[in-house]
Amino acid sequence: MARQPEFLTEQQRALGRYLRALREAAGLYQADIARAVPCDRTTVTHAEAGSQLPASDFWEKADRLVDAKGDLLARYDELVGARTAYLAEQQAKRRARAQATVEQLTEDPSLRSKEACRGGSDDGLPTAPTEDYARQRRKTLKLGLAVAVTPEILNRVLADAADEAVEFTQAAALSTVGQGTLEHLELVISDLNQVYSKNPPAEQFIVARVYRSRVNELIRGRHILKELQALYVCAAWLSELLAWLAHDLGNSRTARAFALDCYTYANEVGHGELCGWAADAMASIAMYSERPDSAMRAAMRGVTKVSSGHPLAVRLRAQAARAHARLGQREPCETLFGEAQRLHERLPARVPSRFTIDTGTLASYALTAYPASAYAWLGDFRAARDHGEAALAVHESVPAASRSPSREAIARLDLATALTQLGTPDEAVVLGSQALTSPRVVTSVLLRARDLNKVLVNRYPNLACVREFHEQFRHIVQRAARGGGS
């Protein structure tokens, strides 16, 4: 394989030296950059030595880590631009040489006569070739390709072929995705996830859908393999978000479609954690669609994709457990809750975050909120009450800015249902009313409120507080039907 010119090699070495100087000035080790990218430490070593040029995301993350304020990435862009220009220049030269070779191979003095080439015209203007000329030319081409390739020409062709092979390899690094595109998409996905519980789902759905369509266009465009994998991950995260938003808006069909899309793209690139999040969404969507058997299958499929040390392993088992409860199957329900509890106790002190969201807290929600509803379905209202109180305590222990209003509302409604069944409707109504004044009364909240309203009205139809709650619930349902919900 031909070597790249010395000026590009030296520019690549200079970029590596600059990275090393910035890293050392920041008091960092190569292992620090390797963890941040992430990559092997050997990759950082080769990059600093100038013997290897990692892809753009390496330089973007290294630039941020050493606080180069974009200068390191700019130098990388300059090098890529210089390489691209050099490749284009070499390609043009090779094409010119190839054309000259073709002309030499196909040249035949016997075809140069005016009569043969122009069909006998005397006006000096070119005319269409005669059939005889075309036949002779085809014969000459065959002979030329068969016997007229001299050693000199053959060596030139082989040399150009070797250069072309190098060009094909180097072209693998060319892309139309753009240096900042992936970073922009990652920031958008992070921002959308962070405001998920704060902004109206309809507005967020529109924005996320636009970006999902844009990612689909990029996937169909030109890119290197590593960028394609990153685009698949972006597509999966956006579809997972769209699944939850469609679920919040009450469209289970759309929610299921996007959850499946998320799982498919994540599975294609071997992203087990993202497969787990997709399965978690599938399970919740199925539970609220009265399909507990589907929820159980989705959750257990997710279990096979995540490590036992990830909070998702806890959450997915809890999902499967409550699905068993909905089917009236107490023994497998409690077995899975037991497994989830043991895994939760063994979670490391520092667990992976999900766009700054503490996944450990999400596991704690599942271990308290899911048993609350599960035991209510099994008719064990004391256990449901105890878990409901624990779930509410977990929510209230989280800083206000990090809370999930819809999950907290559901926790209040589940606890209220258990209290109603245990004979304390006054407390239940207070909790139910608090849930209905949540800033995010989505479809799942309304469905839980419907269950509470039904139990209250059936058991205590003559209580004033129950009638007040019924009117409050009816008003909110009507407002949601008019599109006035959150």
Report the percentage of the chain scoring pLDDT > 70.
82
pLDDT digits (tens, 9 = 90+) for 146-201: 444 566 666 666 666 665 565 555 555 556 676 578 888 898 999 999 888 888 89
Cα-to-chain-centroid distance, residue 410: 28
- Domain contains 140: no
Question: What pLDDT sits at residue 259?
Answer: 96
Where a domain ends, among 174, 208, 224?
Answer: 174
Cβ atoms of residues 416 and 223 within 8 Å: no
Number of domains in the chain: 2
- Domain contains 76: yes
- Domain contains 397: no
| pTM for the structure as a whole | 0.65
Cβ atoms of residues 43 and 50 within 8 Å: no
Question: What pLDDT sits at residue 170?
Answer: 52
Q: How far is CA 432 from CA 20, 254, 374, 456, in A?
A: 60, 29, 19, 10
Where a domain ends, among 127, 142, 174?
Answer: 174
- Domain contains 295: no
Question: What pLDDT sits at residue 419?
Answer: 97
Where a domain ends, among 120, 140, 174?
Answer: 174
Residue at token pair 């419907």: 450
Those residues with Cβ within 8 angstroms of residue 122's Cβ, 6 or more apart along the chain or in another chain:
none
- Domain contains 43: yes
| Angle of CA points 9, 13, 15, to nearest 5° | 115
Question: What pLDDT sits at residue 102?
Answer: 54
pLDDT at 120 over 60: no
pLDDT band at 89 (very low <50, low <70, confident <90, very high): confident
- Domain contains 157: yes
Q: For the domain that residue 34 is a member of, what is the CATH number?
A: 1.10.260.40
Give CA–CA dist 481/441, Å, rounded. 12
Give CA–CA dist 446/68, Å, rounded. 50
- Domain contains 225: no
pLDDT band at 341 (very low <50, low <70, confident <90, very high): very high
Q: At what angle do helices 71-106 and 131-147 cross, to 10 degrees?
A: 110
Cβ atoms of residues 183 and 230 within 8 Å: no
Residue 91 burial by Cβ neighbours in a 10 Å radius (0-12, 13-18, 19+): middle
Question: What is the chain's mean pLDDT, rounded?
Answer: 85
Cα-to-chain-centroid distance, residue 225: 15
**Segment 82-91 mean pLDDT:** 81
pLDDT band at 255 (very low <50, low <70, confident <90, very high): very high
- Domain contains 91: yes
pLDDT at 124 over 70: no
43 is in which domain, residue-wise? Answer: 1-112+151-174
